[in-house]
């Protein structure tokens, strides 16, 4: 799913709010008005972009906008899906949030704090592949063998966690990658609880 511009995010958010306030989707002119556009065309352009990027679907009928994915699940738990991690910021900083995901209830009743799109193939030994979305519980430490999210050089990375004598080993499960040794464990951001993949 392609990324949205700030403006497009605002428009999508306003549609979400309108539906949750009114119970039915807004018209193009209602969207325009709520953003101060003086022409329906401005709102229509945004809708076309949102549709092209897969965030909404619509027909040529009145009030026929449908939110795909996230907002259609009212009342379900929502977690932030983190995109590119900006260096120096806390991982859950708003700048890092790409969108919000609706999740099914965790089968073991654990709390999911955030989701992250996996990039790279360093964990293919655990059958975690590029593009997979991992669901993560935020925590600062972990047990040996846990799959964790850690910040390395301002980038979020997924690795297996092992506590050594005087360091932490972050081990890729793909043997073509080398294990990484870090001194502090404060870079641990969370533990991976589940995985979701769209084919």
Contacts of 165 (CB under 8 A, 6+ apart): none
The one catalytic residue among 20, 159, 176, 191: 159
Return residues touching a copy of itself (CB under 8 A): 1, 22-25, 27, 54, 57, 61-70, 72-73, 75-76, 101-109, 124, 127-129, 147, 192-199
Residue 41: name its binding partner from DNA, a copy of itself, none (Cβ under 5 to 8 Å by kind): DNA
The one catalytic residue among 53, 70, 111, 122: 122
Examine the residue annotation and report whether 57 is marked as an active-site residue of this protein: no
Q: What's the longest Cα–Cα distance across the chain?
A: 66
Residue 50: name its binding partner from DNA, a copy of itself, none (Cβ under 5 to 8 Å by kind): none
Residue 6: name its binding partner from DNA, a copy of itself, none (Cβ under 5 to 8 Å by kind): DNA
Cα of 137 vs its chain's centroid, Å: 13
Kindly tell me which of 35 and 70 has the beta carbon lying closer to DNA.
35
Residue 142 contacts residue 187 (beta carbons within 8 Å): no
The closest of 150, 69, 66 to 102, measured between CA atoms, is: 69
Contacts of 68 (CB under 8 A, 6+ apart): 54, 55, 56, 57
Kindly tell me which of 5 and 68 has the beta carbon lying closer to DNA.
5
Instruction: For residues 43 and 162, give the distance between their C-alpha atoms in angstroms, rounded to a whole number.
Output: 51
Examine the residue annotation and report whether 122 is marked as an active-site residue of this protein: yes
Return residues touching DNA (CB under 7 A): 5-8, 27-30, 32, 35-42, 44-46, 49, 52, 58-64
The set of catalytic residues is: 122, 159
């Amino acid at each position: 799913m392609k990324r949205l511009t700030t403006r497009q995010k605002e428009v999508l958010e306003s549609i979400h709010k309108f539906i949750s306030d009114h119970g039915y989707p807004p018209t193009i002119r209602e969207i325009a008005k709520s953003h101060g556009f003086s022409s329906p065309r401005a709102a229509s352009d945004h809708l076309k972009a949102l549709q092209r990027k897969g965030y909404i679907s619509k027909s040529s009928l009145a009030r026929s906008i449908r939110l795909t994915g996230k907002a259609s699940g009212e009342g379900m738990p929502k977690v932030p899906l983190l995109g590119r991690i900006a260096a120096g910021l806390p991982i859950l900083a708003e700048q890092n949030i790409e969108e919000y995901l609706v999740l099914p209830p965790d089968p073991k009743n654990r709390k999911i704090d955030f989701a992250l799109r996996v990039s790279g193939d360093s964990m293919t030994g655990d059958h975690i592949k590029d593009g997979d979305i991992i669901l993560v519980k935020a925590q600062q430490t972990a047990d040996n063998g846990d799959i964790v999210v850690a910040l390395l050089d301002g980038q979020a990375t997924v690795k297996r966690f092992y506590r050594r004598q005087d360091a932490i080993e972050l081990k890729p499960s793909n043997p073509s990658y080398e294990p990484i040794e870090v001194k502090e464990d404060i870079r641990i951001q969370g533990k991976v609880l589940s995985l979701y993949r769209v084919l």
